[in-house]
Structures are given as structure tokens and as C-alpha cells.
Structure 1
């Protein structure tokens, strides 16, 4: 059961919005909502859990109860980790709205098998869609391209390039720089690039619970390297707010990015904030 700190104001605001182009809301962690001007709504990696204290401790509010979401066309997952595929966060959205779930094989395996969303949350098995690198699919006014990701901690990570008439958005999940990104950057004109950013910290080991030096996300140099290869106009760092011991200050990226042609602009947002892609 998910208990929201904020009530239903955020999903209500999203559903009431009439964007000129695409509106993008940051849900904290690596979660985002994309809504187009025709009303198509995508959720990417929404996570409303509190982690596994004392190993992983959530540092930000839980922004909504997934049962309060009444409008969604698709939920996308980038990889199988619990803060990217999470039954209590995502399955109620699918059950309430009839949205489709798109994810790589190991992520779908969590939903179908380990967490049994179709049994425990009344999700229809027809809502599962297994995707892989090179695939493209349509969701309303969006075209979603599945591209590689480089996340050594995941078994099958992917990234998404979401195209709309107003612009193109890249969501890398927890990717670090990849040899594929120069190609991706040349094939798409990416207006907004979303990538995970954080520090190196001590996190209790999953088995021994002893503190272990942990790097899950890009550091300052890695995220700018990836953004440069992808040729993103605007870089939006995510995940920096989430876990105790791995939080970071995204404002420092101004110093790291200023000598590069890309990214041209840094978008620093907090949980609940909205940015827009308008094609201007």
C-alpha cells in the first residue's frame, strides 16, 4: 500500500494540464510523466516506494498514491531494479487506467512472475509488452524508440527516445556513458535529455549489511560526457534527490558543462516540478 505525503494534487494537476507541446513532470528518483498537447500521457519509471531501510532510505516525499491516477496511456520501465519496476507503484496505474506496460524482458519477468501483477493487482496480461533495443512503437501522439543503455548493475537496461511534433526527449534510466550515444545523438535531435546523477557513497551491502562504497549513478564528468555525446540541448539530471548517502547537488553541473557545446542548458528541477518542450 502506498501512502502519499502530498495527497492527490500532483496527478490532479497533470490531468488538468493542457500543454502547448509536451509537459514533463519530475516525480523524484527517476520517475517522469510526459503529457502531449492531445492528452496522451506516459509514465516512465514511476517509483512511490520508500526503499529498504536502513540500506536504501528515501529522502523525498511520496508524491501521490498510484490509485489516484485516472489518465495514463502507457507506463515504461528502463530496467528491472525495484525503483524502476515496482508493483505497488505501477500496477495500480495499469489496473485503474488500462494503460500498456512497456519494458525489456527482465523487467516484464518481474511484473509477470516475481510480483505477479496480473494476480495481485488485476492487471490484464494483454497489458504487458516486451520490447528490446531497435524497437519503435506508437503511443497516441508519441513515437517511442528503444535504444541501448549502459548500466553495469542491471541485467537488461534500455533507454527511450520519445519523439513528438514539439520535440524529442531522451530518458536514459540509470545509464552511464555508452559507446552507442554518439550514434544516438546523430540520429535524433534531442531537445531534453534525462539522466541519473549522484555521488559515490557508503551503502549497506544487501547481504552483509556492512557499509560498501557504492556508485550507482553518473558523477559530474560522466553525465556531461553522455549529454555531450547525445548532443542534448537541455540536460535534466535525475535521481540525485533520492537515496540517503548518494544525494548530490545538480547545480555543480553548470561548472562541468560550460566548456562543452552540449548540453546547451541545464534544467535543475525538484520533485513535482514541470518543464516544457515546445519546439521553440
Structure 2
């Protein structure tokens, strides 16, 4: 029997985190993807696990870290991108708001870890270590500076693949197409806080960020990373067949343009000629949280007049989305259980006042 004298902070942490344990790891491993479909799970932030009918497993942008854990001195770290974007100096209250729904050190059968850009809530050392240790044949795919970071962390060069827009990488039965990213926030992220002040231009976007199109036999999934809205989405929509698009949605604080708004989520889907648009990222930061049903309500107002050919889908972290099976659904709900309900009346005595 447990005893309070044996309970410590360390034992609590080990017995509690990740909060979902290996529940989702097991679900993904056991899932058999039917021919003509593709499955994916939302892991929080923009983290996605894709699984094809050919049992190819692609892990994209899984982040297993935290945001603020202390008030500190109340000031933003010198050189922080939010400081450069707006001049703000007070601390950004970016507290993590989602549980850890997957155990990175229990991952199996990952064929490729794919990362969109250099920011640490997408490029994660714990995920890199877990995939490297558990999946020796996995490829590490990202733009130049993402790969440079992996190399600094100790990922062997032969495991890495540098991509730039229009590059294609074949991972078994999934074709990964790198496309232009539109993440202006990433452009003001530099290791040297004096770069912009010195008059030097920020790094080329193609070196630090890309968007991805995952082409599968069940449908094509477009991952926009942290891209802002751009007219270039129409170029991607003209040049590629896109079934589902994921965008970094959020409620931008005053003076900041970092996430895609509800209106621009719909513009993105229309420009990409997508059939389903799914907002992500809004779940993770306390200071950027937004209500995704705002997207649904605006869609309802505009869909007939603008003849939208797509639907929004409101996901839940840890939930599975199957394309095209779920393409006409508009909201996810977890399985509620209790299918084997009582076949006889419960004999629990009821109070007389009921």
C-alpha cells in the first residue's frame, strides 16, 4: 500500500506525466488505415501524426515542451521575436494550456520526423531524441536551419534531409512536397539580437521555414506551419491538389500579428482550393487562445454567397481525423463509451424524494 512518506515531487511527476501516458501511442500503433483513406491525429500546437494505408508514419512538428513556468523578472528576454515585432518589453504570458497527449519516448515505427520551421514549439529536442533512439531508420526532414539545429543536437548527418520549396522526398507511399512558407515572425528570429538593429536583412525564409504537402493515396494534406495569410496560397492551390489544409489559428494580442485570424483561415482554404480547413495552434498558448467556432459561424454567413467548396472542421487535441471519411463532418467528439449498457434495471435503491 502507498504511503505519503514515500511520495515525492519526482514520484508525482513520473506517475502523472505525460497525462495520457501511452494511450494515444497505442491507438496509433493499432490503427489499420483502410485503402483509399489517410489518418491523422492532432498532438497539440501544430503537431500532427499521419498514417497511410501503406503503414507509413510521418510525425510533424511534435512539441513536448512548456511555456512560462515562473514570473521571473517580468521582462521579455532580449531579442525575443515578439519584442522585435512590436517593441513590447513586458513578459509574454505564454503558458501551455494543453496536456501532453502522447509519450515521445514510446513512439514506434516513425519513418520520418518532419519540421516546418525553427521555432522551439515546432522544433523540439525531446522529440528528436525519442525518434532518433526508437526509430533508427527514421529520416529527419526540414529546411536548412532546422537541420543545422538537429546536427548541433547530435542527430547524424546521414539521417537528415534538407528541403527547400519545390523539393520532393519520397517516404514509402507518402510524397512530401516542400513549399514556400509565409512566416514573417520567423524572419525576426535571430540568434544575434542586433541583426535587425544593424540594418542587415533577416535570413531568407526558405532557409528557416517551409510549408508541406503530404501526398497520399487517401488524400493530400497541406500543413502551413506558422504561416501568416499570403496571396501565394493561391499559387499552391493552382499547382497542387489539396484536400485538407491545416493553419496556425489564434487570437493575436494587441500590437501583434502572429497567428491567422478566423477570416483569413477561410481565405486560406479558398485560395488553396481545399475541401476541409482545420485550425490548429490556437489550443496551446494562454495568450493566443481563440474560439474556433468563430470560423464555423463566419463560414455559415459566407458559404452560400461566396459558394465555398470547403468546410471547416473543429478538431480536439488527441483526436483522429480520417480523410475522406470525415470530410463532411464539422466537429470532432471523442468516443463516449458505454455501448454495453445495462440489459436489466439497475437495482440501486433510489431516494424516496426522486
Specify if TM > 0.5: yes
Partners in 1 of 2:317 and 2:271 — Cα distance? 27
1:57 alignment partner, SS class: coil
Structure 2 counterpart of 1:268: 314
The partner residue of 1:88 within 126, 145, 163 is: 126
Structure 2 counterpart of 1:206: none
Residue 51 of structure 2 is aligned to residue 12 of structure 1? no
Residue 150 of structure 2 is aligned to residue 111 of structure 1? yes
Q: Over residues 116-170 of structure 1, what are the superposed CA-to-partner deviations in whole Å (9 max), with x where a residue is unaligned? A: 1x2xxxx433111111011011011101111111110114221001111211110
Give matches, 1:125-136, under 5 Å: 125-136=157-168
Q: Which has the higher strand share?
A: 1
Q: Gaps (5+ residues) in structure 1?
A: 203-212
- C-alpha deviation, 1:5, in angstroms: 1.1
Structure 1 counterpart of 2:65: 49
1:51 alignment partner, SS class: coil
Partners in 2 of 1:192 and 1:83 — Cα distance? 22
Partners in 1 of 2:29 and 2:143 — Cα distance? 28
Alignment check: 8 A CA contact 1:42 1:75 kept:
yes
1:62 alignment partner, SS class: coil
Partners in 2 of 1:31 and 1:57 — Cα distance? 17
The partner residue of 1:236 within 274, 278, 294 is: 278
Residue 236 of structure 2 is aligned to residue 184 of structure 1? yes
The partner residue of 1:219 within 257, 261, 265 is: 261
The partner residue of 1:196 within 224, 237, 248 is: 248
2:184 alignment partner, SS class: coil
The partner residue of 1:25 within 23, 38, 41 is: 41
Alignment check: 8 A CA contact 2:228 2:258 kept:
no
Structure 1 counterpart of 2:173: 141
Higher relative contact order (CA 8 A, sep 6+): 1
- C-alpha deviation, 1:222, in angstroms: 1.7
- C-alpha deviation, 1:52, in angstroms: 3.4
2:279 alignment partner, SS class: strand
1:56 alignment partner, SS class: coil
Alignment check: 8 A CA contact 2:270 2:310 kept:
no
Aligned residues: 263
Alignment check: 8 A CA contact 2:249 2:261 kept:
yes
Alignment check: 8 A CA contact 1:149 1:178 kept:
no
Partners in 1 of 2:231 and 2:104 — Cα distance? 36
Partners in 1 of 2:114 and 2:313 — Cα distance? 22
Alignment check: 8 A CA contact 1:228 1:261 kept:
no
The partner residue of 1:58 within 81, 96, 102 is: 96
The partner residue of 2:117 within 79, 101, 112 is: 79
Structure 2 counterpart of 1:101: 140
- C-alpha deviation, 1:65, in angstroms: 2.1
Partners in 2 of 1:40 and 1:15 — Cα distance? 11
